[in-house]
């Protein structure tokens, strides 16, 4: 088990970094771009992106990140690396509660509701639908981005704590 800690730590870092980067891209480019376009295009594009995100590339980062972090904490605790174990576990809990659950309980239902909306031909009607969707969706996406960033920091601190102390 001693040889597992460093590779598992790196996989944990990679997973949480991928999730943070995914949410961050929505914050700083994707939604701003959609907000700046014709709302009929924004609705259609968001419906397509939401339908495409459920794929085998996204699955490991989003769904397995808390599992990987907890498994890494488990290995760390068995190697008496209690500080690292606590930080990996904290990262898993923070991510699970503030990003995973927010996604499953808030963002996904919003996406599923938008998926059922026929795109109006009238620009004003589309603009109202997009405004009602985009603003709250972005608030919750920013929340899960910040939380994922905190989990990323905790993971980095856990890895840093693995470093042997020098005297």
Q: Between the CA atoms of 144, 30, 136 and 47, what dihedral angle is there, to the nearest 10 degrees?
A: -110
> Is the residue at 98 inside a domain?
yes
Going by pLDDT thresholds of 50, 70 and 90, the confidence category of residue 165 is low
Establish if 56 belongs to a structural domain: yes
Range of the domain at 109: 2-162
What sign does the dihedral 26-68-110-120 (CA atoms) show?
A: positive
> Taking residues 95-104, what's their average pLDDT?
98
In a domain, 143, yes or no: yes
Domain-embedded: residue 24: yes
- pLDDT tens digits, 24-63: 999 999 999 999 999 999 999 999 999 999 899 999 999 9
Does residue 167 form part of some domain?
no
* The total number of structural domains that make up the chain: 1
């Amino acid at each position: 088990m001693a040889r597992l800690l460093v590779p598992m730590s790196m996989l944990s870092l990679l997973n949480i970094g991928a999730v943070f980067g995914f949410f961050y891209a929505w914050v700083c480019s994707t939604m701003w771009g959609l907000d700046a376009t014709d709302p009929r295009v924004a609705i259609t594009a968001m419906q397509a992106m939401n339908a495409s995100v459920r794929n085998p590339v996204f699955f490991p980062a989003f769904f397995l990140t808390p599992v990987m972090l907890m498994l890494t904490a488990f290995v760390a605790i068995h190697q008496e690396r209690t500080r690292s174990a606590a930080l990996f576990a904290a990262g898993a809990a923070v991510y699970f509660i503030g990003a995973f659950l927010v996604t499953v309980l808030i963002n996904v239902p919003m996406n599923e509701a938008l998926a059922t909306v026929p795109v109006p031909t009238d620009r004003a009607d589309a603009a109202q639908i997009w405004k009602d969707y985009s603003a709250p969706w972005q608030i919750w996406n920013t929340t899960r981005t910040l939380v994922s960033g905190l989990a990323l920091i905790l993971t980095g601190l856990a890895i840093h704590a693995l470093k042997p102390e020098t005297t």
